[in-house]
Amino acid sequence: MSKNAFKMLLLSLLIGVTIYLEKPILPEILRLHSIDLSWSGALFAVFGFSVMLFAPFLGDVGDKKGRKLVLIISVLGMAVGQLIFGLSSAISGMLISRFIFGSFFSGIAVNFMAYFNDNYMGSEKSRMISYNLAIMAFGLALGSLFGGYLSGVINTINIYFLQSILFVIIAFVVFFIYPKEYIRIDVKRNYVFNMYQNIKRVKLSGLLPGMIVTMVFSIGIYIVLNFLEFYLSSKNFSLGQIGLYVFSISLVGVLGNIFITPTLLRRFDEKIYLVVILIVSGISLMITSYHHEIGLYVFMFVFGLVSMMFKPITTQIISKNAEDEQGLALGVRETLIHFGMMVGSITGGYLFSSEPTSIFFASSLIMFVCAIGFGSLKYLETRNK
């Protein structure tokens, strides 16, 4: 592994750990401020909406101005967002902080993936994308574990202040260790206008159907993922147990992305692979909706594996079509994904308040629909050759 790759993976780990420190404590924070848990859906929806708005813009800025600048600004912006959340005791302040956090998070999500698309080719690109997602997921897992532990050691509110401090430190780390980059796209004066003109030049005609199915997938996955901590809390899991459970799910995904995804992507067509893992995911969710005790363990291993595998596969599909403007194409993808997150958050909030286990059943149906969608795209692709 090259020195530059190691630096990027280290940054992924640090950012992942810091982001998820709050993951297991959010239900407790809402209760602490006497905020109805139904507002959790709105918090996730606002986050998704802000990513949806800013992902193409920050992806395009990374293409033209350099990814290092975008990453530094994004990490500092996330620090501001978490600081505001920690200082807020009303839902209005929390919603504002989520909008700020999501806006800058989009710069992280898009430009990390674009870096590997820019600098690697073929099977090496697939391997590095999988490693990056695996390391980020491992960081998220550690963040959940540490967040659950810290909640028993310090005041839960202070975890948000700790996040802000860590994000500022990470910004300095990015400044000093981010690899040298070569910007290949000329900057034009009318920047925002040209960004949307450039969207037309990315091969979206071939990408858009798959991106739409990916958006539907994100609806299904966020119906569950955004309310998993709340579901576990309703089953009397402690904050430490919630952190450990989320850590276990992420760890399964990490191992899958390191040892399974790169090998299978070399041997099978991406869309066929997606159909298989979506069907398996749908079955695991269906089991979870009907059998709580057994289902949570099935969910941990199967759904954790599938949810982490999905992103490197769809990223590889994009990398074959987007040529130089990787950041912009990935930004469009992130916009659609987070539109799905917004819809999934609102839907999940309604379903969870009605019947907690219904989030698993609804998500399973969406996984089956997405399997049909990618299967249909593969059929049309084969027929048109």
Distance CA 116, CA 110 (A): 11
Distance CA 259, CA 270 (A): 17
Of the listed ranges 71-75, 138-142, 278-282, 315-319, the least confidently predicted one is 315-319
151 occurs within a structural domain? yes
* pLDDT value, residue 73: 95
Contacting residues for 321 by C-beta, under 8 A, at least 6 apart: 202, 203, 206, 207, 329
* pLDDT value, residue 95: 95
Closest CA to 88 of 137, 26, 132: 26
Count CA within 13 A, CB hemisphere, residue 372: 7
| Most confident range, picked from 147-161, 260-274, 325-339 | 147-161
Of the listed ranges 145-149, 162-166, 173-177, 364-368, the least confidently predicted one is 145-149
| Most confident range, picked from 65-79, 122-136, 333-347 | 65-79
Contact 348, 242 (CB under 8 A): no
137 occurs within a structural domain? yes
Structural domain for 37, as ranges: 9-177+187-383
Instruction: Strands of 233-322 (E only): list them.
Output: none
200 occurs within a structural domain? yes
* pLDDT value, residue 199: 47
Q: Is the pLDDT of residue 172 over 50?
A: yes
* pLDDT value, residue 294: 65
Give 328's pLDDT tier (boundaries 50, 70, 90). low
* pLDDT value, residue 83: 96
pLDDT tens-digit profile of 173-219?
A: 999 988 876 555 444 433 344 444 444 555 544 567 777 888 898 89
Q: Is the pLDDT of residue 51 over 80?
A: yes
Closest CA to 275 of 165, 158, 370, 342: 370
* pLDDT value, residue 122: 66
Tokens of 383: 């027929």
* pLDDT value, residue 186: 46
**Exposure pattern of 217-238 as b/e (b: 16+ CB <10 Å)?**
bbbbbbbbbbbbbbbbbeeebe
Angle formed by the axes of helices 91-119 and 3-19, nearest 10° = 170
313 occurs within a structural domain? yes
4 occurs within a structural domain? no
Distance CA 83, CA 374 (A): 41
Q: Is the pLDDT of residue 4 over 50?
A: yes
* pLDDT value, residue 183: 55
Length of the chain measured in residues: 385
215 occurs within a structural domain? yes
Average pLDDT over residues 315-322: 60
Of the listed ranges 44-48, 226-230, 289-293, the least confidently predicted one is 289-293
Tokens of 251: 């760890």
Contact 21, 150 (CB under 8 A): yes
Q: Which helix or strand (DSSP H or E) is residue 168 part of?
A: helix 156-177
Of the listed ranges 59-68, 129-138, 172-181, the least confidently predicted one is 129-138
Distance CA 146, CA 158 (A): 13
Average pLDDT over residues 119-137: 75
Q: Which helix or strand (DSSP H or E) is residue 104 part of?
A: helix 91-119
DSSP codes, 106-124? HHHHHHHHHHHHHH--HHH
* pLDDT value, residue 52: 80
Give 77's pLDDT tier (boundaries 50, 70, 90). very high
* Percent of the residues in the chain that have a pLDDT greater than 70, as a whole number: 82
* pLDDT value, residue 193: 40
- How many contiguous H segments (helices) and E segments (strands) does the chain have? 17, 0
Tokens of 307: 């949810």
Q: Is the pLDDT of residue 133 over 80?
A: no
**Exposure pattern of 246-271 as b/e (b: 16+ CB <10 Å)?**
bbbbbbbbbbbbbeebbebbeeeebb
Give 160's pLDDT tier (boundaries 50, 70, 90). very high
Kindly report the CATH number assigned to the domain that includes residue 326: 1.20.1250.20
pLDDT tens-digit profile of 265-316?
A: 677 777 888 888 889 888 888 888 887 666 677 766 776 677 666 666 666 6
204 occurs within a structural domain? yes
1 occurs within a structural domain? no
* pLDDT value, residue 369: 95
* pLDDT value, residue 207: 66
Give me the number of domains the chain comprises: 1
Count CA within 13 A, CB hemisphere, residue 39: 17
Closest CA to 18 of 200, 163, 209, 182: 163
